[in-house]
Chains A and B, each alone.
Chain A
Amino acid sequence: MPERKGVRTDEIAEPIESSARSRGRTRIAGRATGFSMTSESRMASLLKKLYPRFLYESVLPGGEKALFNYRRIWWQAIWGVAGVALIPLAVLTVVHHLQYRRALTAEIRYPLARLVSNTERTISSFLVERRTAMDFVVSDTSFEQLADQNRLTVLFHHLRKSFGTFGDIGVIDDTGYQLAYVGPFKLRGKSYKNQNWFVHIQKNGLYISDVFRGYRDEPHFVIAARHDKAKGSFYVVRAAIDAARLTQIVWSLETRPDSDAFVINHDGVLQTDSRFNGNVLERCRIEVPPHSESTVVRELTGPDGNSITQGYVYIKNTPFILMVIKRTEALMGGWWKLRGTLVAFFLASVVGILVAVLIAVTYLVGRVYEADFRRTVAVHKMEHANKMASIGRLAAGVAHEINNPLAIINEKAGLIKDTLTLPEAQRTEERIIKHIDSILQSVERCRVITHRLLGFARHVDVVFEPLDLVKLVIEVLSLLGKEAYHRNVRVTVNSVEDFPQIESDRGQLEQIFLNIINNAFDAVQDGGKIDIVFDIISEGMVAVEITDDGCGIKPEKMQYIFEPFYTTKKEKGTGLGLSITYGLVRKLGGEISVRSTEDKGTTFKLKLPVSLPKQTEEAE
């Protein structure tokens, strides 16, 4: 058993330990600049907060892979949280938008529909009034009286006085011949026999014409009514009505300056003046709408390309279509303003939520990363401490080993000194040279020992390189050689032929084997044995089995042995050795397993990849 408190141990171990430690510390400090905050780097650290380290750095100190793929987690968290927040908001906004629009459109269209209906009623009653007046005259007067020019003149004057709008009046017999006529033209005796309206009235009894200029060159229209006589014959009373009256009615709506109201006929010719769509008897710029005897309000694109809202109705028993046009913009202004507010609110919310999500997610993922970072630093420090502890243990043995050549040097130097005090005769140069050679040999022995230890401590940085695993294990064993010698522990190393070189990190492998072999040494009795067997499992994997015939591990303790701080060695162990070994093996892409029988021995089986483990991106 080597002694840890060997007097000369300190002199050897101390410089190694301190230099390795300081190297490790500078490297970690170099990575960890984000933690240190000086006044001049405040700006830089602010920038770093906005562009956190985990987005561009996937490697932790010591070249270790991060526990998670932080960039992906960050994206997933942002998508997830933003989705949960934004999708209901978007759905709500769209639904609100649709409902508002439906409600407000109905609200806005209703007055227009009412206006159109009312105006239609006004125009209808205007026409009915004229017709009723004519009927009254006819029913009050006999056909003979009506056919009398003088009598008709009196009647016409009464009508004009009462209703104003009559332009002329005529009485036509069933052959189309105009029997009497009162008006500005000499139309008495004119025959309407073949005219369309006369054909029409024979069938329908009532005729209201389109607006036309006629001989008077004034827009007017005609109302004609058939009256039946006895014996199946009939006569027609026909009167011209001034169309200006229609215009008056329509214009009396007092529509807004950007609105328009007018009447067209079924062919799309204007029957009244229009504000924007032409004058009377011109072709209207708006197409004839589909037939409907009830009021229709609809939205369409106007002749100038703007959206307009059109309200119309076909006036019954007339060729007239009443139409009110409003600019949708003016009508829907309120709604559009509301919609604008809604959209602005939505966009502002989206931006707000995204910013909040971005900040929160970045902060949280950053915290996890920092924790992982700190964990890695801690693990790294722990591994380092473990390595130093093993070196400390080795150093005790090594110091003992160095003491022997030192003792030889001491004796030889003493001999030389003694020889020089002897009488001249016994003082031979050969003797002195023999002693000096012996001293030099011993110095060489010391050098080999110290170099071995220094070489072990040196491999702190992670460097993957091809290496001979058997040779490496033998080197590790040589550090423990003296202990094996003194305790009579027999160590055998067996390897299959063609055992390949493997690509791995020397320092970490040394640490792994030292930990396992040290454990084996602790487990075996003096005179025990440790077998190390190298084997090839498959093309890419090799295995090393380290078997001891020591005390073994109790079955109930097997599950804990790789856990940190679990130790069966009481105050002699830190409980870190195997947990660190486990971590290191995993880091090198390998596996470690153990089987043990109490009082019979323990076998640690290490599987290692032959070539460099692919640094898998998905570090889940």
Chain B
Amino acid sequence: MAETIKVLAVDDDQDFLDAFAERMQIHGLSVTKATSGIEALSKAEEQTFDAVILDMAMPQMDGIDTLKRLRKINPDLQVILLTGHATIDKSVEAIKLGAIDFLEKPAEIDAVMDRIKAAKFARMLLVEKKTEERIKKIISDKGW
């Protein structure tokens, strides 16, 4: 892969976050860690990520809240939710809010990698499409 994939991992459990991040690094990802929703928001403001892996159950600001606010900062952000207890309701709510996928703890690393690659691809498509639209707009504006 020409370019390393940049991932933001958000979880309130430090032990889990460390191990999870280390594994993804071994699998060749560039991982940034955040232990709360607030920290994740500030990290997302600093730089762009190909994908965000977000824990659902966190104190103060939970996964859904964080997701909403991340989408405000960057609507193109590809967010994968990660949780200890999956429910249909929560999944539907998360997908409606623009999350691209839903993973259940403990997650297989291969599944995580697949989702992240898919996210990266989706993001690339989105960026390409937007660039194309922008070019088309410029052409039509200029009357070319």
Report how far A411 CA is from B60 CA in the complex, Å. 25
Q: For residue A407, which residues in chain B have a CB less than 8 angstroms away from its CB?
A: 13, 16, 20, 84, 105-107
Contact B109 A403 (CB under 8 A): no
Which residues between 1 and 44 of chain A lie within 8 Å of chain B, taking CB atoms? 2-3, 5-7
A404 to B19, CA, bound (A): 12
Q: Are B106 and A6 in contact (CB under 8 A)?
A: no
Check B87 against A3 for contact (C-beta < 8 Å). yes
A419 contact set on B, CB distance < 8 A: 26
A598 to chain B minimum Cβ distance, whole angstroms, is 28
A5 partner residues in chain B, CB cutoff 8 A: 87
**A450 on the interface (CB 8 Å rule)?**
no
B105 A403 Cβ-Cβ under 8 A: yes
- Chain B residue numbers with a CB within 8 Å of A422 are 26
Contact partner of B16 (CB less than 8 A), chosen from A6, A408, A418, A486, is A408
Chain B residues near A414 (CB-CB < 8 A): 23, 109
Interface residues of A in 382-411 (CB under 8 A from B): 396, 399-400, 403-404, 406-411
Q: Are A408 and B15 in contact (CB under 8 A)?
A: yes
B85 near A399: Cβ-Cβ < 8 Å: yes
Q: Which of B13, B59, B86, B106 has the most CB of A within 10 A?
A: B106
B residues less than 8 Å from A485 (CB atoms)? 59
Distance of A407 Cα from B60 Cα, bound (Å): 22
**A488 contacts partner chain B, Cβ-Cβ < 8 Å:** yes
Query: Can you list, as one digit per residue, whether each of B1-35 has a CB less than 8 Å from chain A (1) or not (0)?
Result: 00000000000010110011011001100000000
Look across to chain A and name the residue whose beta carbon is closest to the beta carbon of B20: A411
Say yes or no: B106 contacts A403, CB within 8 Å: yes
Interface of A is mostly: helix
**Is A404 touching B16 in the complex (CB atoms < 8 A)?**
yes
Task: Choose among A399, A404, A409, A415 the residue that contacts B22 (Cβ–Cβ < 8 A).
Answer: A415
**Is A408 a contact partner of B19 (Cβ separation < 8 A)?**
yes
Residue from A3, A400, A411 in contact with B19 in the complex, judged by beta carbons closer than 8 Å: A411
Q: What CA separation (Å) do A486 and B84 show in the bound complex?
A: 13
Q: Determine whether A438 belongs to the interface, using a CB cutoff of 8 Å to chain B.
A: yes
How far, in angstroms, from A3 to B105 measured CA to CA in the complex?
Answer: 15
Expressed in whole angstroms, the Cα–Cα distance for A86 and B49 within the complex equals 99
Determine the distance from Cα of A495 to Cα of B57 in the docked complex, in whole angstroms: 32
Taking a contact as CB atoms under 8 Å apart, the answer to whether A438 and B85 are in contact is no
| Interface hits, A351-402 → B, CB 8 Å | 396, 399-400
Cα separation A414 to B62 with both chains bound (whole Å): 27
Query: How far is the CB of B144 from the nearest CB of chain A, in Å?
Result: 52
A-B complex: 4 closest residue pairs judged by Cβ atoms: A410-B106, A403-B84, A411-B19, A407-B105
Please give 4 more A-B residue pairs, beta carbons under 8 A apart, in addition to A411-B19, A411-B106, A414-B23. A5-B87, A403-B85, A412-B19, A422-B26
A residues near B, CB below 8 A?
2-3, 5-7, 396, 399-400, 403-404, 406-412, 414-415, 418-419, 422, 435, 438, 442, 485-486, 488
